[in-house]
Amino acid sequence: MTTEPDPTPRRTPLTKAAVLGAAVDMADRSGAGVPSMRNLADRLGVKAMALYHHFRNKEALTDGMTDLVFAEIELPADGADWHPAMRDRARSLREALRRHPWASALMDSRAQPGPATLRHHDAVIGCLRGGGFTVAGAAHAFALIDAYVYGFALQERSLPFETVDDLEGVAEGIMQSMADAHLPHLAEMFTELALKPGYDYGEEFEVGLDLILDGLARRRTDWR
């Protein structure tokens, strides 16, 4: 999906925030990632050179867009209990990745992370340290939680269904292809779980998150 340029010349001053907002909106709509400077300029109704007053190159624009996504993620408050805080933060990260699917490949790739990114990491580590994790333990916990959230978001985005009706259609097709094969465990999962009324694949996220957080709670003082 492409975004049509605004044919009306821009009459208000161009700001850094306006450039970032337009760039993120274009990336969300197209699904193609960071827009080119030329296409972004067309969207804003300016010459491409006007963008370079705010961002020296596309890498700097990408840094800013990524930082904007990090700013949307809920952070633990000072003194918060690490367990519910990490749960809330993981949920918030998942939602941000659902709103901005292009960002998942960029979030931890920036050599020049922005202020929101740095505050985010510092707050998460601080919450874990306040919860009794050693420095190494906080690093392990941070990496594990993020690997799970990013991985789940990628898998969720790649599934061939979005709604319950979609899932039923996909499951029925798979069941038909299994008709002549002996696949009792797969058939059982479909009939006893996936095709039951009210099943929501998204709820698997909470199950996995519970397992991770409970495991970290048992091990948080083990790492030195």
Instruction: Classify residue 216 by burial, with Cβ atoms within 10 Å: 0-12, 13-18, 19+.
Output: buried
**Structure letter (DSSP) for residue 34:** S
All structural domains of the chain with their residue ranges: 1-55, 68-219
Tokens of 201: 């694949």
- Measure Cα distances from 194 to 154, 158, 162, 189, 204 in Å: 20, 17, 13, 6, 11
pTM above 0.95, yes or no: no
The CATH architecture of the domain made up of 68-219 is: Orthogonal Bundle (1.10)
Count each helix (H run) and each strand (E run) in the chain, helices first.
10, 0
Contacts of 31 (CB under 8 A, 6+ apart): 1, 101, 102
What pLDDT does 111 receive? Answer: 87
**Under 8 Å between Cβ of 20 and 64:** yes
- Measure Cα distances from 18 to 15, 69, 188, 196, 219 in Å: 5, 15, 52, 46, 45
What pLDDT does 178 receive? Answer: 66
CATH code for the structural domain at 1-55: 1.10.10
**Under 8 Å between Cβ of 3 and 29:** yes
d(CA 175, CA 190): 8
Phi-psi region at 31: left, alpha or beta (left = phi > 0; alpha = psi -120 to 50): left
What pLDDT does 1 receive? Answer: 47
**Under 8 Å between Cβ of 90 and 153:** no
**Under 8 Å between Cβ of 82 and 76:** yes
CB atoms within 10 A of CB 68: 19
- The per-residue pLDDT string of the chain (224 residues; one tens digit each, 9 = 90 and over) reads 455 555 445 557 899 999 999 999 999 998 778 999 999 999 999 998 999 999 999 999 999 999 999 999 999 999 999 999 999 999 999 999 999 999 998 988 888 999 999 999 999 999 999 999 999 999 999 999 999 999 999 988 887 666 666 666 666 667 666 666 677 887 787 778 777 777 777 888 999 999 999 999 998 888 87
